[in-house]
Structure 1
Amino acid sequence: MAGGKLSPRQKMINLMYLVFIAMLAMNMSKEVLSAFGLMNEKLVDSNTRAEKKNVAAYDALALKASEQEKQYGKAKEKTDSIRAMSDDLYNYIEDLKTKMTQDVEDKTGYETMDKSSFLDQYFFEGGKVSTHGQEFIDKVSAYRDGVIKILGKRELADIVASRFQTSDITNSEGITLNRLKYHFEGFPLIASVTKLTQMQSDIRTTESDALSSLLEKELSAAVSMTNYEAMVVFDKNAYYAGENLSGKIVLGKNDPNLTAEKVILNGREVSKSKIKAGQVLLDGPAGSVGDKTIKGSFFFKENDSLVEIPIKGSYAVIPRPNEAVISADKMNVVYKGLTNPMTISIPGIPSNKVTASAPGLTRNTGSSYSMNPQGAGGSDVTIRVSGTLPDGKPVSSNKVFRIKDIPPAMGMVRGQFGTIQMPKSSAARISIAAGLPDFLFDLKLQVLSFKVKVPGQLTAIVNGSQLDSRAIGVIGKASRGDIITIYDIKAKVSNSSYQLKRVLPVNIEITN
């Protein structure tokens, strides 16, 4: 079509051919733009689901750390740092996407999002990276380096470095290009939005991977027999001479389906009839007066070998009571801001001849006491008990109890916590509550204040438990699929001045 003298008819045919090719190119372009838009929708939905899973994992880890701080405390501290950095970069990218599409009337009209002017002007200036572009690079670099520093020498650190590279890139022709220009300069708006959503997906994936990686040691130990610890549990702390020893030896992780291959105690193998699921029954003479020791081992079959778990315990055989028995009715610690019921007695001595004293301790009746450690100060409180034996001799004993804060509560909406789905119209009428699921005390909590965060909107601060007009207005700007975060919830124990140290956030997903 390019050589020789052409007839008018041939020229017309060639022109029609070119028009046809142009029309094909235009249709292909629209299809590609629509494909980017549909891909972006799937990524947004995936990010929402990933965020819910991560929130549930963070909450579970927080609960574990509150119960077993030594085992899970460091992992929680590290994941909390990664979570904060991830939210910061994720929200920064979300704000950038909002700016990019603020002039687009139809957010689903992907075929109209074919211009590249916004990021071409926002990220670049005079052929170089602009201040905004450098800010984007710096934030991605800071996130990458921060996460790698927390992860340390783990395989995941190399994966994170690859996910969030900011260095120059070499194209297929061997030309070195600025990475920001390579990925964003001259690309259609919807393509750039999709790339940014993919970055947000990488952020949520990194959070999930970090949770798994940092908890890998604890999770491996949880399924291994080496994680079990044998404990000697007697029916009482001391025995009289001539009494039969009664009690049992159990494992720290008592599994009803777990039975030892054999058990050795003080050099002798225990009868099979005494070996039960996860425990060994003790039945025999206590011995003469004095301190006694029980030593031995559990043997469990794991793979092709026997795993040995040492047993070590002690008890005392005494001729008569010589020590007070102090027990907390609820648990082995006392909580600030609560009235902790306690039973204090000395075996063999009437309650009217027993006295107990400690800061915050009051007697109700008989051996029933109440402990309010609010004014005790420090991290523990010592209860001093004294009494008079039947022969007139005095006996005394001290017991130290740890003082703990009430564990973190959970933000609640309609009696639910975590992420709750509801229409926007319903979200504007909610009230915020706080609860302590599975806590030993049945407490009523009063919400004092909270903050409301809607994607793309300024945070609203609310006093009390009901939404005010400003918060309702912010929620009114939420869109379908948005996750509204209710956080920084302040609450106290009802009919008390004690304020909880922390209340976990609650999320609302807008359905329509």
Structure 2
Amino acid sequence: MAGGKQSPRQKMINLMYLIFIAMLAMNMSKEVLSAFGLMNEKLTDANTRAAQQNEKAYESLSLKAQEQALQYGKAKEKTDSLKAEANDLYNYIDNLKAKMTADVKNKKDYETMDKSKFLDEYFFVSGTITSKGKEFVSKLDEFRKTALNVLGETELAGVINSRFSTDPVKNKDGAQLNWLNYNYEGFPLIASLTKLTQIQADIKATESDALSTLLKGELESAVSLTNYDAMVVFDKNAYYPGEKLSGKIVLGKNDPNLTAEKVVINGKEWPEDKIKAGQVILDGPAGAVGDREIKGEFFFKENDSTITIPIKGGYSVIPRPNEAVISADKMNAVYRGLSNPMTISMPGVPSNKVAASAPGLRRVKGDSYMMRPGKGNEVTIRVTGTLPDGKKVSSNKKFRIKEIPPAVGMIRGQFGTVSLPKTSAGKITVAAGLPDFLFDLKLTVTSFKVKVPGQVAVPVTGTRMNARAKKAIAKARRNDQITIFDIKANTSGYKLKKVLPVVIKVSN
């Protein structure tokens, strides 16, 4: 049709023939475009379901990590990093798809989405890849690297590489093309949309693969006997001379269906009647005062081999107590007018078998007490404990009673000399504080006096200046020092004996 000189009639026939072929191609392309659109819908629905399933798996893994941090903590860290990258790439593609269809009025009319203009201009210009195109490829590469790092050397590594490969591609003629050009240059809009939705499907599939692979690995590890630990568990941490031991050695899982073939403790094979489901009973004499070591081995049969699990633990034998241990939670003194937290206990004696008494002392819970001392300079706390054998031991201890140290007047959180303009001095609020005091007390100022040089001292009730005080302050000059003194303050109904003055230096 294109060779030689042609007559006008022949040229017209050729033109009509080309139009006929184009019409056939157009009809076929409409069907193909609709097929792409339906495929995109199905992929979108599948992605929604996959996202919901993955979220449930993430929540399950998070719960397991909270309950068993050592076993599932690393798996959660890995999947959390993958989840963040996955969400970033998924949302990036969502935004790109939104831009591609921004000018499409009917998002379901796939037959109109036959142009390639958007991505041809967004990803490519004058035969080169734009910065947006490079960003798209870079995000795919980053996600692939993260996924491979999370999954490590597993059989899924090849799958991940294939899903998110951006390597050059050979076309049907054997020519090597850039991956982005091969997949997105010159394609109808709906075809490119479907390809992007497929990438989103691959993202969700990769998250699912990572979750199932890591959880499967942890579960396989959990059921293996090689990961069990033997633990020595006593009914109490210390024993008196002559007492019998009361405790057991258990495996970390404490499986009632798990019984050792043999147990050796401190070089001695333990009697079979002391080896029970998942544990070993200890009931021998405690021994003399000092630290005692327990070591040995569990022997189990697993398939055709014998698994050995080491036993390592210990306990202490301590003398019988004859003196209580009493400590003030703040310091070795108690303050008058305050509720002083204290801990009163006796070694080897439970808190419900310990009784303490003193003026102003009350039990809060267990071995926690509150002391609110009254008059005098000392208070004696008397403690009596009942030992397991019924015997009683008593102890007394004295504590000093101290007054709350002098507070300081404060303005705007500052004390001492505070520089302020005269216009601000009449608007301040007077407070009181105890810098570096052990207790965090809330002090309430009830009254104070104001002395301006050359003026009579003005009494004030409350925390803010009254009219007389403001009038006196108005007569102050630059560099005058206005003294706020005789500050009265209290805390929890207790009146402080002394509050140091605070001085305002008039700056202008």
Q: Give the TM interval when normalised to the shorter protein.
A: 0.5 to 0.7
Cα distance in 2, alignment partners of residues 325 and 302 from structure 1:
50
Distance 1:257 1:108, change over 3 A: farther
Show structure 2 runs of 5+ residues with no match. 1-15, 327-342, 371-381, 386-391, 398-508
- Matching of residue 311 in structure 1 with residue 314 in structure 2: no
Cα displacement (A) at 1:134: 2.6
Structure 1 distance, partners of 2:223, 2:396, is: 51
Deviates more, 1:41-50 or 1:266-275: 266-275
Match of 1:352 among 350, 355, 358: 355
Give the secondary structure class of the aligned counterpart of 1:34: helix
Counterpart-to-counterpart distance in 2, 1:41 and 1:273: 67
Structure 2 counterpart SS, 1:107: coil
Find the aligned partners of 1:325 and 1:42 in 2 and give their Cα distance: 73
Distance 1:323 1:315, change over 3 A: farther
* 1:90 lines up with 2:90 in the alignment: yes
The alpha carbon displacement at 1:195 in A equals: 0.6
Q: What whole-Å deviation, never above 9, does each CA across 1:81-111 have from its counterpart, x for those lacking one?
A: 3222221111010111112223333333334
Mapped to 2, the partners of 1:348 and 1:224 lie a distance apart of: 41
Which has the larger Rg? 2
Is 1:254 matched up with 2:257?
no
Task: Give me the whole-angstrom Cα distance separating, in 1, the residues matched to 2:314 and 2:78.
Answer: 39
Distance 2:110 2:53 in 1: 29
Structure 1 residues 323 and 70, CA gap change in structure 2 (3 angstroms): farther
**Residue correspondence of structure 1 range 315-464 to structure 2 within 5 A:** 315-321=315-321, 346-348=347-349, 351-353=354-356, 364-365=363-364, 367-369=366-368
2:241 maps to what in 1? Answer: 241
Question: Could you report, residue by residue, the CA deviation over 1:7-26 in whole angstroms, capped at 9, with x for unpaired residues?
Answer: xxxxxxxxx99999888755
Q: Is the Cα–Cα contact under 8 Å of residues 323 and 395 in structure 2 kept in the other structure?
A: no
Q: Establish whether residue 191 from structure 1 lines up as the match of residue 191 from structure 2.
A: yes
CA spacing shift, 1:364–1:61, aligned 2, 3 Å: farther
The alpha-carbon deviation at position 213 of structure 1 amounts to 5.2
Q: Please tell me whether the aligned partners of residues 321 and 346 of structure 2 are also in contact (alpha carbons under 8 angstroms).
A: no
Residues 133-173 of structure 1 show CA distances to partners (whole Å, capped at 9, x for unaligned) of 23322322333345445666665455433322223211131
User: What is the aligned partner in structure 1 of residue 275 from structure 2?
Assistant: 275
TM-score (norm 2): 0.57
Question: How many angstroms does 1:233 deviate by?
Answer: 1.2
Q: Distance in 2 between matches of 1:292 and 1:311?
A: 14
Contact 2:243 2:286 (C-alpha < 8 Å) held by counterparts = yes
Deviation at 1:72, TM superposition (A): 4.5
- 1:379 equivalent in structure 2: none
Aligned partner letter, 1:367? G
Which SS does the other structure have where 2:139 is aligned?
helix
Offset, 1:113: 2.8
Question: In angstroms, what is the RMSD of aligned CA positions?
Answer: 4.2
Amino acid in the other structure paired with 1:41: E
- 1:322 Cα shift? 7.7
The residue that corresponds to 2:228 in the other structure is 228
Q: Which sits farther off after the overlay, 263-272 or 169-178?
A: 263-272
Q: Distance in 2 between matches of 1:57 and 1:185?
A: 38
2:58 aligned with 1:55, yes or no? no
Sequence identity, in percent? 62
Q: Which residue of 1 aligns with 2:127?
A: 127
Is the contact made by 1:291 and 1:314 (CA closer than 8 Å) also made in structure 2?
Answer: yes
Which whole-Å deviations, capped at 9, do the CAs of 1:314-371 have from their partners, x for residues lacking one?
2234452489899xxxxxxxxxxxxxxx99554458533499xxxxxx9744635399
Question: Residue deviations 1:355-388, cap 9 Å, x none?
Answer: 9xxxxxx9744635399xxxxxxxxxxxxxx977
* Residue type at the aligned position of 1:248: K
- Alignment partners' CA distance in 1, 2:297 and 2:321: 31
Q: CA deviation at 1:226?
A: 1.2
Quote how far apart the aligned CAs of 1:208 are. 3.0
How far apart, CA to CA, are the structure 2 residues paired with 1:94 and 1:343?
63
Q: Distance in 2 between matches of 1:239 and 1:25?
A: 94
* Counterpart Cα distance in 2 of 1:96 and 1:274: 69
The equivalent residue for 2:297 is 297
Residue 183 of structure 1: how far off its partner (Å)? 0.9
Which stretch has the larger CA shift, 121-130 or 306-315?
121-130
Normalising by structure 1, we get a TM-score of 0.57
Count of residue pairs the alignment pairs up: 349
Per-residue Cα deviation, 1:230-286 (whole angstroms, up to 9, x for no partner) = 111122223333333222221111223323333333344444443333222333443
Deviations 1:384-403 (A, max 9, x none): xx9777666789xxxxxxxx
The one-letter code matched in structure 1 to 2:175 is I
Q: CA deviation at 1:313?
A: 2.2
Closer/same/farther in 2, CA of residues 69 and 110 from structure 1, 3 Å limit: same
Match of 1:179 in 2: 179
Q: Is contact 2:344-2:356 (8 Å) kept?
A: no
> Distance between the aligned counterparts of 1:152 and 1:394, measured in 2?
64
2:354–2:384 CA contact under 8 A, matched in 1: no
**Letter aligned with residue 352 of structure 1:** A
Partner-residue secondary structure (3-state), 1:183: helix
Partner SS for 1:102: coil
* Structure 2 counterpart of 1:453: none
